[in-house]
Chain A
Amino acid sequence: MILVNEEPLNWHAGMTVRDILRVRNYRFPMLVIHVNDVLVAKADYDTTTVPDGAVVKVIHLISGG
Chain B
Amino acid sequence: MSQLVFDPSKVMDIDYTKRTEYLDQLEALRAGMRTVKEVPFQPSLPDKGYTNRTLYVNVGSLEVTEKPVTQQMKDVFIGGRGFGLYHLWNAVKPTTRWNDPENEIVISPGPVAGMTQYAGTGKSLVVSLSPQTDIPIDSNVGGFYGPLLKFSGFDALELQGKAEKDIILFIDGVKGLIRVEEVAGGPEDSHVLAELLTHLYAEGEKDLPNVSVVSTGAAAAHSLIGMLNFSFYDRRRKCVRFKQAGRGGIGTVFRDKRIRALVVRGPKVAGDLNHPVDPETIAKTGIKYHKEIRENDGGQCMMRRNGTAHIVEIMDAYDLLPVHNFQYGSHPEVHKIDSSYWQQRCTQHTVDGCWYGCSMACAKGADGLVLKTGPYKGDMVTVDGPEYENAAGLGSNCGVFDPDYLLELNFYCDTYGICTITYGTLTAFVMECYQRGILNKERTGGLEMTWGNAEADLEMMHRMARGEGFGKIAGLGVKKMKEYFIQQGWGDPQLINDIGMENKGLEYSQYMSKESLAQQGGYALTNKGPQHDEAWLIFMDMVNKQIPTFEDKAEALYYFPLFRTWFGLNGFCKLPWNDVVPANNSEQPEAHKVPEHVQNYVDLFSATTGVKIDKEDLIMQSARVYNFQRVFNIRMGKGLRLHDAAPYRSLGPVTKEEYESRAERYDQQIITEMGLDPAGKSTEEKMAMHRKWRTDRFSKLMDSVYTRRGWTLDGVPTLARLQELGLDAFPEVVDVVKQHL
Contacts and interface: CB of A to CB of B under 8 A. Distances in A.
A21 B318 CA distance: 12
Contact of A60 (B533, B539, B585): B539
Given A29-B299, A30-B300, A64 B1 contact: no
30 contacts: A5-B544, A5-B545, A6-B548, A21-B1, A22-B1, A25-B1, A27-B2, A27-B313, A27-B314, A27-B318, A28-B314, A28-B539, A29-B3, A29-B300, A29-B301, A30-B581, A32-B585, A33-B586, A42-B299, A57-B544, A58-B544, A59-B544, A60-B544, A61-B591, A61-B594, A63-B301, A63-B314, A63-B536, A63-B579, A64-B511
B545 A6 contact: yes
B592 interface: yes
Nearest to B577: A62
A64 B544 CA distance: 15
B538 interface: yes
A62 B539 contact: yes
A32 B317 CA distance: 18
SS class of chain B's interface: helix, strand, loop or mixed? loop
A31 B299 CA distance: 12
Nearest to A25: B317
Contact of A59 (B299, B311, B592): B592
Contacts of B311: 63-64
Nearest to A27: B317
Size category of the B interface is: 35 or more
Contacts of A26: 1, 543
B545 A64 contact: no
Given A27-B317, A64-B536, A65-B536, A5 B543 contact: yes
A65 B533 contact: yes
A39 B3 contact: no
Contacts of A65: 509, 532-533, 536, 564, 574
B174 interface: no
B737 interface: no
A40 to B, nearest CB: 9
A1 B398 CA distance: 41
Interface of A: 5-7, 18, 21-22, 25-33, 39, 41-42, 57-65
A64 B313 contact: no
B540 interface: yes
B546 interface: yes
Given A5-B545, A28-B539, A62 B591 contact: no
Contacts of A29: 3, 299-301
B594 A27 contact: no
Nearest to A33: B586
Interface string B283-311: 00000000000000001110000000001
A53 B14 CA distance: 54
Contact of B539 (A41, A42, A63): A63
A32 B574 CA distance: 21
B20 interface: no
A27 B315 CA distance: 9
| Smallest CB-CB A-B distances: 3 pairs | A64-B536, A65-B532, A60-B539
Given A6-B545, A22-B1, A27-B317, A62 B587 contact: no
A16 to B, nearest CB: 12
B587 A39 contact: yes
A64 to B, nearest CB: 4
Given A6-B545, A65-B574, A59 B591 contact: yes
Contacts of A22: 1
A27 B618 CA distance: 33
A49 to B, nearest CB: 17
A6 B509 CA distance: 29
Nearest to B540: A62
Contacts of B1: 18, 21-22, 25-27
A35 B300 CA distance: 21
Contacts of B578: 61-63
A58 B311 CA distance: 18
A42 B548 CA distance: 26
Chain B CB within 10 A, most for which of A21, A41, A42, A64? A64
Interface string B527-549: 00000110011111001111010
Nearest to A21: B1
B664 to A, nearest CB: 14
B469 to A, nearest CB: 35
Nearest to B591: A32
Contacts of B532: 64-65
Most B Cβ at <10 Å: residue of A5, A22, A41, A65? A65
Interface in B578-620: 578-579, 581, 585-587, 591-592, 594
Interface in B95-144: none
A63 to B, nearest CB: 6
Nearest to A7: B545
- Identify which of A25, A32, A58, A63 gathers the most chain B CB atoms within 10 Å of its CB: A63
Given A27-B317, A39-B587, A61 B2 contact: no
Contacts of A30: 300-301, 581
Interface in B380-402: none
Contacts of B574: 65
A51 B509 CA distance: 41
A59 B594 CA distance: 13
Contact of B586 (A28, A39, A62): A39
Given A28-B539, A32-B586, A62 B300 contact: no
A57 to B, nearest CB: 7
B130 to A, nearest CB: 20
Contacts of B594: 61
Given A27-B314, A30-B300, A39-B586, A62 B536 contact: yes
A39 B581 CA distance: 16
Contacts of B592: 32, 59, 61-62
B538 A64 contact: yes
Contacts of B564: 65
Contacts of A59: 544, 546, 591-592
Contact of A61 (B509, B545, B581): B581
Contacts of A32: 585-586, 591-592
Given A21-B1, A29-B3, A30-B581, A61 B313 contact: no
